[in-house]
Amino acid sequence: MNKSILLLSAILFLNYSCKKTETKSEQSETTAFINETVKKRIDSTLKSFIDEGKVAGISTLIFEKDKEVHYAQFGYADREDSIPMSRNTIVRIYSMTKPIVGVALMTLYEKGAFKLDDPLTKYAPEFENMQVYAGYDSINKKVLLEPLKRPITIRDITRYTAGFEGRMPGVPRLQGKDDPTNKENTLQEMAEKLGKQPLAFQPGTRWAYGVSVDVQAFLIERISGIPFEQYLRENVLDPLGMNETRYFIPEKDRYRFAATYNYNRETKEMTRMPDTITQILNYYKWPLNRGALGLTSTLDDYQKFGQMLINEGSLNGVTILKPETVKLMRTNQLDESIKERMWLPDRGQMGFGVNFGVRVAPPVDAEENNGVVGEFFWDGAFSTLFIGDPVNDMTVVMFVQLSPYDQIQLHKKFRDAIYGNFVPEAKN
Same-domain status, 71 and 118 = no
Domain presence at residue 234: no
- Peptide bond between residue 198 and the one before it cis (omega within 30 degrees of 0): no
Distance from CA of residue 368 to its chain's centroid?
A: 19
Same-domain status, 271 and 375 = yes
Residue-wise DSSP of 36-69? HHHHHHHHHHHHHHHHTTS-SEEEEEEEETTEEE
Domain presence at residue 209: yes
Last residue of a domain, one of 199, 224, 249: 224
Same-domain status, 205 and 262 = no
- pLDDT > 70: what percent of the chain? 89
Same-domain status, 259 and 184 = no
State the Cα–Cα distance between residues 406 and 382, nearest whole angstrom.
8
Q: Could you tell me if 402 and 55 are in contact, meaning their C-beta atoms sit under 8 angstroms apart?
A: yes
Same-domain status, 350 and 372 = yes
Same-domain status, 274 and 336 = yes
Q: What is the pLDDT of residue 4?
A: 46
| pLDDT above 90: residue 147 | yes
CATH number for position 203: 1.20.58
Angle at 397 between CA 275 and CA 316, to 5 degrees: 120
Last residue of a domain, one of 224, 259, 291: 224
Which of 157-161, 328-332, 364-368 bottoms out in mean pLDDT, i.e. has the lowest?
Answer: 364-368
Helices 36-51, 410-419: inter-axial angle, 10-degree rounding: 160
For 340, the 3-state DSSP assignment is strand
Domain presence at residue 236: no
Q: Count Cβ neighbours within 10 Å for each residue of 105-144 and write b for 16 or more, e otherwise.
A: bbbbbeeeebebeebbbebbebbeebebbeeeeeeeeeee
Same-domain status, 271 and 394 = yes
Q: Give the phi and the psi of residue 199 in degrees, each rounded to 5.
A: -75, 155
Domain presence at residue 195: yes
Q: What is the pLDDT of residue 428?
A: 54
Across 35-174, the runs of DSSP E, i.e. the strands, are: 57-64, 67-78, 83-84, 91-92, 131-137, 142-147
Work out the widest C-alpha separation in the chain, in whole angstroms: 111
Question: Each residue of 317-363: pLDDT tens digit?
Answer: 999 999 999 999 999 999 999 999 999 999 989 999 999 999 999 99
Q: Pairing mode, if any, of strands 402-403 and 261-264?
A: parallel
State the Cα–Cα distance between residues 358 and 175, nearest whole angstrom.
29
Please name the helix (run of DSSP H) or strand (run of DSSP E) that holds residue 4, with its range, or none.
helix 2-31
Q: What is the pLDDT of residue 168?
A: 54
Same-domain status, 220 and 274 = no
- CA Rg value for the chain: 24
State the Cα–Cα distance between residues 294 and 302, nearest whole angstrom.
14
- Per the structure, the complete domain to which residue 281 belongs is given by 34-95+241-419
- Which neighbouring-strand residues pair with 153? 119
Same-domain status, 85 and 114 = no
- For range 184-206, the mean pLDDT: 95
Q: What is the pLDDT of residue 141?
A: 82
Question: Each residue of 50-104: pLDDT tens digit?
Answer: 999 999 999 999 999 999 999 999 999 999 999 999 999 999 999 999 999 999 9
Domain presence at residue 19: no
Q: What distances in angstroms separate CA 226 from CA 93, 117, 218, 232, 247, one per listed residue?
A: 24, 23, 10, 10, 17
Q: What is the pLDDT of residue 167?
A: 61
- Which neighbouring-strand residues pair with 389? 394
Q: What is the pLDDT of residue 177?
A: 64
Closest CA to 213 of 296, 281, 286, 157: 157
- Which neighbouring-strand residues pair with 199? 132
Same-domain status, 297 and 370 = yes
| pLDDT above 60: residue 28 | no
How confident is the prediction for the chain on average, in pLDDT?
Answer: 91
Domain presence at residue 229: no
CATH number for position 268: 3.40.710.10
Closest CA to 315 of 302, 297, 331: 302
Q: Give the phi and the psi of residue 34 in degrees, each rounded to 5.
A: -90, 80
Q: What is the pLDDT of residue 174?
A: 57
Q: What distances in angstroms separate CA 135 from CA 130, 140, 151, 408, one per listed residue?
A: 16, 12, 20, 36
Number of domains in the chain: 2
Same-domain status, 173 and 296 = no
Domain presence at residue 278: yes
- For range 128-145, the mean pLDDT: 89
Residue-wise DSSP of 210-265? SSHHHHHHHHHHHHHSS-HHHHHIIIIITTTT-TT-BSS--GGGGGGBPP-EEEET
Last residue of a domain, one of 192, 224, 256: 224
Same-domain status, 68 and 176 = no
pTM of the predicted model as reported, rounded to 2 decimal places = 0.90
Question: Each residue of 286-317: pLDDT tens digit?
Answer: 999 999 999 999 999 999 999 999 999 999 99
Domain presence at residue 378: yes
